[in-house]
């Protein structure tokens, strides 16, 4: 099974987990999270990993690690993290 491609998360309420709310691990691409709320989600509400080996047509935004392109995160609320 390869990395995820094209995931869309919207209007989510993720609460009271012992680990990450959402984790875009190595190789995840073309994925989005928006209009969502994270509360008491361990150490990371949303984890995004860059993958330097990823072959992508998407440019990396300025100031973002290589391989992190094509991931969009917007309008999130996080509270009560560790």
Domain count, the chain: 1
Q: What is the pTM of this model?
A: 0.61
Domain carrying residue 26: 8-77
Other C-beta atoms closer than 10 Å to the C-beta of 29 total 21
> Does 55 fall in a domain?
yes
Length of the chain: 82
Rounded to a whole number, what is the largest CA-CA distance in the chain? 37
> Does 14 fall in a domain?
yes
Question: In a structure prediction context, what are the per-residue pLDDT tens digits for the chain, which is 82 residues long?
Answer: 457 888 888 888 988 888 888 888 777 778 888 888 888 887 788 887 766 555 555 555 555 555 555 666 666 666 665 5
Task: Tell me if 38 sits within 8 A of 78, measured CB to CB.
Answer: yes
Q: Among residues 20, 54, 14, 19, which one has the least CA distance to residue 38?
A: 14
> Does 3 fall in a domain?
no
């Amino acid at each position: 099974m390869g990395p995820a491609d094209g995931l869309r998360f919207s209007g989510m309420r993720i609460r009271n987990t012992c680990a990450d709310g959402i984790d875009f691990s190595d190789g995840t691409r073309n994925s989005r999270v928006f209009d969502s709320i994270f509360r008491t989600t361990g150490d990371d509400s949303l984890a995004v990993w860059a993958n330097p080996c990823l072959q992508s047509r998407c440019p990396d935004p300025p100031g973002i690690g290589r391989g992190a392109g094509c991931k969009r995160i917007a309008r999130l609320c996080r509270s009560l993290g560790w």
